[in-house]
Structure 1
């Protein structure tokens, strides 16, 4: 019985049978997919099973043969074709009575809530916002394995260069040098700035902490990108996810350096908020992964 974990898109791609066919899903999620070419459904669960059935006029029965073709991997995505034979005949043994394809949906890294954490209890501080003037703080991030296979002991999480740049833009500096007391408090291991992630089964979550300096932070809500480095089969992969956090800091003075304040616009110039902006298209969307 084929078994899958995580989120997959199932599509019925072929049917060469006179009898009605269907796919029955059971386990952490359940349902029935009619065996009609073109039918598609997303199935998401920690662990679920797939059975192909046919109705020969006497009710639904399991098909005689179900074959999983080899799993194809592209980065941290995967796809597979399943073929089946409802009943073997003297002159027809080709397993093509119902053919379905499956492909993973989304990446293995889901980034949840970001929050400022208390270094002693590892709990959110106040509203969970990073605050200027508090100096060194811990940035906590909740992550979930939303892939189709477990994270092994080799998985590590880091704030990507893009995420570090977003934080630095509002005066929040990621500290790569950990104080021994902070390492003991978090119980984490650090490898070249990246934090080791405990083994996670599909659907499991954990919280990872990073030290940041907010002494010169200014108010903002940066989108912070995280990078998960892990292995899938024999391949080393990088997966990405983003989330935002509120930074409470000193307000920026727009008149510093001679710039006009919002209420003191030079005549003949439109207010910046009313003008269109040109922005470079991001080269990597949230959740994207590379080998």
Structure 2
């Protein structure tokens, strides 16, 4: 059984088995959903944490977990994170678990969008232009000095750096 977190889409890539195959998703609260082993079958899962198990059904018996599950590496391309999961229901003499997988799944997850650096610069410019501008030259020089001190503070406003420490700055307006 494999544990995943967050939203993923499970798609059956291929099935090559004598026995019926399926993937079972179990959520935290005991909910179960099944993806049949038909190629191109899919299921969207959107839970905080969930478990995936791959199973087969022997003739006349109940569903049993596959003997070997192999998880491929995670790849990221065009804003999609994906990984391949394959399994074997039984291993015959002379075969390895990687030979002839019975069920192959592709799991895909959309990555969150990261704002471009230009967006950060534009918002900083909007913030800077929203500040009030003093009307006299003397007040203007004092305000520029105060802004420089505030940029160095961790809080960004109202603190002035002295000897490696921050202290409350007196208002300059």
Q: TM-score, with normalisation over the residues of structure 1?
A: 0.39
Quick one: structure 1 residues 172 and 86, their matched pair in 2 at CA, closer, same or farther if it must change by over 3 Å?
A: farther
Gaps of 5+ in 1: 110-158, 182-291
1:23-34 to structure 2, matched below 5 A, reads: 23-28=23-28, 30-34=32-36
1:9-20 to structure 2, matched below 5 A, reads: 9-20=9-20
Larger Cα-atom Rg: 2
Residue by residue over 1:200-229, the C-alpha shift from the partner in whole angstroms, topping out at 9 and shown as x without a partner, is xxxxxxxxxxxxxxxxxxxxxxxxxxxxxx
RMSD value, Cα = 3.2
Question: Any idea what SS the aligned residue of 1:160 has?
Answer: helix
Residue by residue over 1:39-63, the C-alpha shift from the partner in whole angstroms, topping out at 9 and shown as x without a partner, is 1222122111110000012010000
The separation in 2 between residues aligned to 1:45 and 1:67, in whole angstroms, is: 23
Higher helix share: 2
Report whether the alignment pairs 1:49 with 2:68.
no
How many residue pairs end up in the alignment?
Answer: 131
Alignment equivalent of 2:90, drawn from 77, 87, 91 = 87
Residue by residue over 1:64-103, the C-alpha shift from the partner in whole angstroms, topping out at 9 and shown as x without a partner, is 1111012223487421101100111225542510000111
The separation in 1 between residues aligned to 2:45 and 2:77, in whole angstroms, is: 20
Task: State the match for 2:112 in structure 1.
Answer: 107
Offset of residue 10 of structure 1: 1.1
2:24–2:55 Cα contact (<8 Å) kept: yes
Quick one: structure 1 residues 107 and 16, their matched pair in 2 at CA, closer, same or farther if it must change by over 3 Å?
A: same
Gaps of 5+ in 2: 132-146, 160-173
Q: TM-score, with normalisation over the residues of structure 2?
A: 0.62
Report whether the alignment pairs 1:179 with 2:157.
yes
